Structure formats: C-alpha cells, structure tokens
Amino acid sequence: MTTHTTMTTPSVRPRQITDAPRRRRGRSAYPYWFYLPAAVIYTVLFLVPTVASFFFSFTRWSLFDFTFIGLDNFVQFFKEPALIKGLVNTFIYGVVTSGLKVVLGMLLGVLLTSQIIARGFLRSVLFFPVLLSSIGVGMVFTVLMDPNNGLINDALALFGIDGPKWLTDPAWALMSVALVDVWKGVGLATVIYIAGIVSIPAEYFEAAKVDGASSFKSFWNITLPLARPATATVIILSLIGGLRSFDLIWAMTKGGPGFTSDVIASVIYKQYQAGFYGLSTAGNVVLFLIVTAIVVPLSMFLNRKEVEQ
C-alpha cells in the first residue's frame, strides 16, 4: 500500500507545490531538513544501538573492549535451563496476556456499548489502572496476593476456596503476574473495542433485529467480524507490550521463585547487572527476533483480511 502511493505520486505532487510560490522556484514548502533533528536523535540513540546489538551479541564485551566469540552467547541462551525458561515464559506471558485482553476487552466493550446504566462510571473505573505506574500496581498486588493473609486469598476463603500460593508458588508465579498485567491493561483493550464497536453502522443491528436475530447471533455475525480492526489493534499492541514486559515482573517476583517467572527482558537485566554485556545483548537480539517474527507476520495477516472484506 505505502510503496504504491510513493511510486505514483512524486511526479505529480511536488510540481504543484513548487509551482505555487514564484519567488521560491525549485524549493518545496515541505523541506526535508524538518526530518533532520528527529532523525539525528533517532539514529544515534535507537538505530545505531539496534544495529550494534547484532555485532556485540557475538562478543564477550566489557563496554571498553570485546573479544569475538561467535555464536557462544546464543548457544548459551538455548542451552542453559534458566535462559530457556525465560524464553518459554516470554511466549506464555505474551500469549496469555494478549489472549485474555482480547476476550475480556471485547466482552466489556460490548457490555459498555449496550444500554446499561452507569456506563461512564464503569468506563472510567476500568480505564484508570492503565495510567497507574506498573511498579506501584505490582507492589500493591504483591501484598494482596500474599499467600497467608493477603486480601485475595482471604476473600476466596469466604467462598471455601483454598487460594493458590500465587507469587511464591513456582507453578503460579508467572500466571499471577500475567493476571495483574491483564487487570492493569484490560481498560485499554476495552476502550479500543468501544471505539471499534461504535463505528459499526447501527443499520446492521437494526436489520438483524428485524430479521429476528438473537443478540448472540448479531454479536457473532456483526460485531465480531466488523470489530476486526479493533481486534487487530488489541492483539498487536498487547503482544508487543507483553513480549517485552519487564516492569511488573521485576516489581512482583524479580523472576523468582528461582527463575520460574523470568522472561527475556528480566534475563537481559540480570545479565547486564552481572556484567555479561555480550550475553545481555544477545538476549536483546533474541527478543528482537522473537517480537519481529511474531508481530510482523501477524499484523500483515490481520490487516490483509481486513482489506479483502
């Protein structure tokens, strides 16, 4: 799409612009040097490090000098149990958080666009956690999830449920953090769905009603397919966020107990702290490759379907 427009327009547009001001013939009103300040900052602090990361991931590195060690860092990444765990957890965390956000966000979006009372209140309450600091939220929930006298297990005990040990149980630690991530982020998914659902023409729903469709049927056949751009946005946004997630995990478990809730982002930080700069950078490269390999094809797929409709 973008390449198409860039291929065809340049022969037409710039001439129109440059023709208008006679005094400045040959100069565009839209000078390229407007790109310059942003381009310098972006190149120096984002592009250069990104490219350099590929080089330094093949080295043992102390910031001042480096020895080339080939693929050793990557081999270590796929061999050491702690690091593999981080890799697997990154996938799990990304998929679980983004899946839950899609499902809950869509249901809440439908609920909050229907005719129930107190929509404004519910919307504000739901969205507010998005603006809280992840670290603050993480610390509050660490207390709430305290296995012995935390509020959550106390509440579950009222219903006779013996709550899990949450953050201290290796089997539950990552899921607990993922649930808090969903708690914090579902408001954003919901408002994205609300925007998507509101933009569906009301005639469709009216026509379906006249034809006698149940509310479930009109959800399944109208809302779900036509809210597809919203679904695509929620999936892509929460995957990008989820795969590189660091703040919440660091605030709640620091990757523990042991390394059972480590993700790549926390491994990167731990290796950096330990002074293994090469290994840490290799982690960055792995994360880069994973995010790109998942997000780029997925977003192409989600957006192509949309054009075909």
Contacts of another protein in 223-242 (CB under 8 A): 228-230, 232-233, 240
| Residue 195 interacts with another protein (CB under 8 A): yes or no | yes
| Residue 274 interacts with another protein (CB under 8 A): yes or no | no
Residues 75, 84, 125, 224: which binds another protein (CB under 8 A)? 125
| Residue 267 interacts with another protein (CB under 8 A): yes or no | no
The interface region with another protein, picked from 72-80, 170-178, 206-214, 246-254 by CB under 8 A, is 246-254
| Residue 34 interacts with another protein (CB under 8 A): yes or no | yes
The interface region with another protein, picked from 77-85, 93-101, 164-172, 247-255 by CB under 8 A, is 247-255
The interface region with another protein, picked from 78-86, 125-133, 164-172, 205-213 by CB under 8 A, is 125-133
Residues 6, 79, 202, 211: which binds another protein (CB under 8 A)? 6
Which H, E and C letters describe the chain, residue by residue?
A: CHHHHHHHCCCCHHHHHHHCCCCCCCCCCCCHHHHHHHHHHHHHHHHHHHHHHHHHCCEEECCCCEEECCCHHHHHHCCCHHHHHHHHHHHHHHHHHHHHHHHHHHHHHHHHHCCCCCHHHHHHHHHHHHHCCHHHHHHHHHHHCCCCCCHHHHHHHHCCCCCCCHHHCCCCHHHHHHHHHHHHHHHHHHHHHHHHHHCCCHHHHHHHHHCCCCHHHHHHHHHHHHCHHHHHHHHHHHHHHHHCCCHHHHHHCCCCCCCCCCCHHHHHHHHHHCCCHHHHHHHHHHHHHHHHHHHHHHHHHHHHHHHHC
The interface region with another protein, picked from 55-63, 77-85, 161-169, 202-210 by CB under 8 A, is 55-63
Q: How far is the CB of 151 from another protein (least distance, A)?
A: 5
Q: CA-CA distance, 136 to 26, in Å (whole number)?
A: 56
| Residue 159 interacts with another protein (CB under 8 A): yes or no | no
Query: Judged by CB under 8 A, how many residues of this single chain contact another protein?
Result: 106
Q: Which is nearer to another protein, 127 or 257 (CB)?
A: 127
Q: Which is nearer to another protein, 229 or 257 (CB)?
A: 229
The interface region with another protein, picked from 3-11, 160-168, 170-178, 204-212 by CB under 8 A, is 3-11
| Residue 68 interacts with another protein (CB under 8 A): yes or no | no
